Amino acid sequence: MEFEFYSQTDTGRVRTNNEDSIALEEPCALAILADGMGGYAAGEVASGMACEFIRAELGRWLSEAAANATDADVKRAMDICVDNANRAIFSAANSNPTYAGMGTTLVMGVFRSGRLLMGHIGDSRGYRWRAGQLQQITKDHSLLQEQIDAGMLTPEQALYSANKNLVTRALGVEDLALLETHLHEVQSGDIYLMCSDGLSDMLRDPQIADVMSAHTSLADMGGALIAAANEAGGRDNIAVVLVRSQGVAEPVPRSWWPFKRLGGLG
C-alpha cells in the first residue's frame, strides 16, 4: 500500500506569527502536526520542538525497524518518543524564562499497509474521508468536549461556547503527557486529514466535507481548506496534513521488540 502526502500551514487573518508546525517523514509514512501555545514566540518553539524531535527519533526507528515491527511495537515507540519530546519541552520551559508555560497540542499518524496508528494530545484533530463521508477519528482533550460528554452542552451549543480553546491535555506543560492512540483500518482511496483548531474552529464538519468533495488533488484540497477557513474569519493559525492511501494491504508482521526507554531508540 502506498501513501501520498500533502501539508500546508497559514498564519490566518488575525495572528502575526504562526505557532502551528508540521513534520513529514514520507519514506516511513509518518506525519506530525502541532499547535503551540505560550508567550511571545514560545508556542512556535514548543510546536517546532515536538514535530522535529518526534520526526527525527521516531522516523529513525521506523526506518530501521518498522518492516518487522507489530502495531503494538509501533504504538510503544510512539509513546516513548512523545514522552521524550514532552520532557525536552518541559525542561526548556522551566530553564528559560522566555519559554515559561509553553506547550503544544499534537496529532500524529504512522501509516502502515492497511492500518493507521493515530495518536493525539489536545484538540488538534484527525479525520477520515471515505466513500464521500467524513468522520472525526480523534476526540478532543478539551473542557468543551468534557462538557459535551457530561451532557452539559449539546454539540450545537458548543459551537458558540467561549471555552473552545481550553485544552485538558497538552505536550510540554507537565512532566508527564499521555498520548491517546487508536488503530484504524485503512482502505485504498481513503484520505486522512490532520488539522489544528484554526481549521476545525472556523469550519463545521459538513463544510470541511464539502470542500474535500470538490477537489481531487491533495494540493487543491489543502489549499481550499485553508482558504475556506480564512474566508470564515481566519482567527487562528491553520495547519493541514492530507494523506491518501492507494493499493492493497500487505500481511501484518509478527512481534519483534529490541527497544529501550530513556536511552533513545536503538
Give strand pairing partners of 35: 20, 105
Angle formed by the axes of helices 218-231 and 205-213, nearest 10°: 140
- Average pLDDT value for the chain: 91
pLDDT of residue 39: 66
Q: Is pLDDT larger for residue 46 or for residue 150?
A: 46
* Percent of the residues in the chain that have a pLDDT greater than 90, as a whole number: 79
Give strand pairing partners of 195: 125, 240
pTM of the full predicted structure? Answer: 0.90
What would the pLDDT profile of 90-116 be if each residue is shown by its tens digit? 999 999 999 998 999 999 999 999 999
Contacts 24+ apart (CB under 8 A), 188-191: 188/1, 188/245, 188/246, 188/247, 188/248, 189/130, 189/131, 189/244, 189/245, 189/246, 190/128, 190/129, 190/130, 190/244, 190/245, 191/128, 191/129, 191/130, 191/218, 191/221, 191/242, 191/243, 191/244, 191/245
pLDDT of residue 221: 98
What would the pLDDT profile of 194-244 be if each residue is shown by its tens digit? 999 999 999 999 999 999 999 999 999 999 999 999 999 999 999 999 999
What would the pLDDT profile of 124-167 be if each residue is shown by its tens digit? 999 999 999 999 999 999 877 777 778 777 776 666 666 667 88
Query: How far out from the chain centre does Cα 177 lie?
Result: 15
Q: How far is CA 83 from CA 45, 89, 178, 219, in A?
A: 17, 10, 8, 32
Q: How far is CA 20 from CA 87, 88, 159, in A?
A: 20, 18, 22
Task: Please say if the pLDDT value at position 256 is more than 50.
Answer: no
Q: What is the mean pLDDT of residues 71-90?
A: 97
pLDDT of residue 149: 73
